[in-house]
Amino acid sequence: MVERVEYDEFGLFHENAEEFGLPYDGPPAVRRESVEVEPGRRMSALVWGEAPPELVLVHGGAQNAHTWDTVAMALGRPLVAVDLPGHGHSDAASHEGAGAFDTRRLAADVATALRVLAPEPRGVVGMSLGGLTTIALTDVAPELVRKAVLVDVTPGVDRERARHITDFVNGPATFPSFDEILARTIEYNPTRSVSSLRRGILHNAVQLEDGSWVWRHARHRHETEGGPDRRAAPGGDNAPMFTELWDVLSAITVPLMLVRGMLPQSVVGDDDEAELVRRLPSARIEHVQNAGHSVQGDAPLELARLIEDFVFAG
C-alpha cells in the first residue's frame, strides 16, 4: 500500500509563526485565485488579506508563491504572491521551450494577472528569476511598478555563482519517497532548518499515485528531451543570458532596492552590485549577513523589515 503524505495548503502557517517567533492567533486570511492570461491558460496566486493589495511578491525559478509565507505574515499587509507560469499552481507557459524564461514574456503574464488582482500596488518585490521579471515589468507595464525590490539578483547573474542552484534544480525528475526528496533538499540548503525545508517541499512538490514525488515545476519538463530541463533557473548550461536587462534597469525611474545575501550561497557578487550602482546611482543597497540566495527563507523577518521601510516608510 502506498503511504500518502497529508497536505493542507493553508494548514502550515502555525509552523512559520512558531519557527520565527511571530504572534499567531489563527490562520491568516489567505485565498487562492487565478486569472486567465490567454485562452485556456491561467496564472495562480495567493491573495493575502481582504483590502486592495499593497504589494506584489514574485518568486524565483523552481519556487512558488509559498516561499513568501513568513515574509507575508511578518508584514501583515494585503498583498499578492504570484505563481509564475509553470510553477506552483499556474499553467505552463505557451512559450515553454527556448523562451520559457524570457523575462519579457513572464512580465507580460504577470502584468495581465496583476491588472485583475493588484492593479495599484505600492511596490513589487522579485527574488532571483522573479527579480529579473520585475526589471522587465518596469518596461512592459511601468504603471504597475511604483517601487521595485530585487532580492539577490542582478542582470549580471553568473553561471558559476549559480551552479549550486542549477545543480539542485536540474537533479532527478522524480523521487521514490518523501525522505529522498527531503534528503536532497537538506544537502543543497545548509542554511535552512529541516522543518522549513519539509514545509517548502510540501508546497512545492506533488505526490504521484505510485507514492513517488515530483517538483511542481518539473511536471512541465518535456519527456522527449531525455532529462531535466536545463533552463530550469537562471544560470543553467543552456540558460539565456540576461545582460540585456541592464539597459532596462538603467532606464528605471522609480525607487529601487537591491537586497543581497552575504553568505556563499548568494549569486550576487561585488562586481554585480557595483554595476547596478553605476547604472542606477539612486539605488538603495542592503546586505543581509545571515542569508544566502533565498533571503526570504534564510532571514524572512529582516527582509520584511527592509521591505516595510523601503516601500511603505520611505
Catalytic residue among 59, 66, 87, 293: 293
Check if 270 is active-site. Answer: no
95 part of the active site: no
Dihedral angle computed from the Cα positions of residues 245, 287, 259 and 243, in that order, rounded to the nearest 10 degrees = 10
- Cell 520611505, residue located: 314
Cell of 44: 495562480
Q: Which residue is it, cell 518596461?
A: 139
Q: Which residues are within 8 A (CB) of 290 and not within 5 positions of it... i.e. 6 or more apart? A: 262, 263, 298, 299, 302
Instruction: Round to whole Å and give the CA distance between 65 and 153.
Output: 18
Among residues 44, 59, 109, 128, the one annotated as catalytic is 128
Residue whose C-alpha is closest to residue 258's, from 300, 307, 301, 298: 307
HSE, CB side, 13 Å, CA atoms: give it for residue 18: 10
Q: Is 128 a catalytic residue?
A: yes
Q: What is the rounded distance in angstroms from the CA atom of residue 95 to the CA atom of residue 48?
A: 29
Q: What is the C-alpha to C-alpha distance for residues 243 and 247, in angstroms, rounded to an integer? A: 8
Q: C-alpha distances in angstroms, 197 versus 6, 102, 205, 288?
A: 16, 28, 12, 20
Q: Which three cell numbers stand for residue 118?
A: 493588484
Q: Which of 113, 145, 106 is nearest to 44 (CA)?
A: 113
Contacts of 183 (CB under 8 A, 6+ apart): none
Per DSSP, the residues of 213-247 read: EEETGGGGS-GGGSS--TTSSTT-TTPPP-TTHHH
Rg for the chain, CA atoms, rounded: 18
For residue 89, give the C-alpha cell.
Answer: 499552481
Q: Which of 69, 152, 229, 298 is catalytic?
A: 152
Active site residues: 128, 152, 293
